[in-house]
Amino acid sequence: MDITFLTLNPESIEPLFSQGVIGRARLSGILNIQAVNIRDYATDKHHTVDDTPYGGGSGMLLKVDIVYTAVSGIKQKAAIKNLKPYVVLTSPGGKVFHQQKACELSQKESLIFVCGQYEGIDARLNDLCIDEEISIGDFVLSGGEMAAAAMANAICRLLPGVLGDEVSAIEDSHSTSLLEYPQYTRPSDFLGQKVPSVLLSGDHARIELWRWQQSFLKTLQIRPELLKNYDFTGLDKKQKKFVDDLHKQQLL
């Protein structure tokens, strides 16, 4: 996969993608990451990229002509490699990013993240060259780089070969509409806090059921709305009994 960050701070991107599984994926050629400076597409001698909003108001906007030329330039270079990048605008006004969106975007061969700055971008860019406007949550950052990097990281770790263990991405929180069960490593007793004994039992069926129950309970307590998307049809007898008991106790 090719990912391009279009940004006024290209130097902020590299350190976020040079370590760990993502850094290794780049070295092995699974992933190409580049950051392009919006200012490289400025046309005046002051390298201006922003201007004041029509109708007044505070702050500056990234200019339509500069960002459009930059996106077009990146797309032209991608076309040489037969790639057609999907363009994502980072914006607190977009639909909120989630794991399913990460899965969907991980199927694309090429992505461009447009990182806003100041008060954002000229709205005409949405029609001209943006495929999708995405927010990472209901809060406002000062620039799109961290939002784009967070999305790109979630996307990259889903690419085949990026995580050592393919199963671990499937079991992650949000992959099944349930939050992940609690996990523990050695020592089994720390300051009197003991690891649940079932995990030391070696009984894999019991461990699997316990983990699923813990996932279910944690989701019910912390993010009950996620259970609306949960598929109850595939539950086995023991899981069904667990859910029935929760119903009887009026916890579900």
For binding to ligand SAH (CB under 6 A), which residues are involved?
90-93, 115-117, 119-120, 135-137, 139-141, 143-144, 147
Nearer to ligand SAH, 137 or 182 (CB): 137
Smallest distance, Å, CB 169 to ligand SAH? 23
Marked catalytic residue, from 104, 171, 172, 180: 172
Nearer to ligand SAH, 93 or 187 (CB): 93
- For residue 157, indicate whether it is catalytic: yes
Nearer to ligand SAH, 30 or 146 (CB): 146
**Residue in the shown chain whose Cβ atom is closest to ligand SAH:** 116
- For residue 133, indicate whether it is catalytic: no
- For residue 65, indicate whether it is catalytic: no
Smallest distance, Å, CB 87 to ligand SAH? 13
- For residue 223, indicate whether it is catalytic: no
Beta bridge partners of 6: 36, 114
240: CB partners within 8 A, 6+ apart: none
Smallest distance, Å, CB 119 to ligand SAH? 4
Smallest distance, Å, CB 30 to ligand SAH? 25
Marked catalytic residue, from 10, 50, 133, 157: 157
Nearer to ligand SAH, 64 or 199 (CB): 64
Smallest distance, Å, CB 177 to ligand SAH? 23
Nearer to ligand SAH, 132 or 180 (CB): 132
Marked catalytic residue, from 92, 122, 133, 145: 92
Label residue 235 exposed, middle or buried (CB < 10 Å: 0-12, 13-18, 19+). Answer: middle
Q: Which residues are catalytic?
A: 92, 119, 157, 172
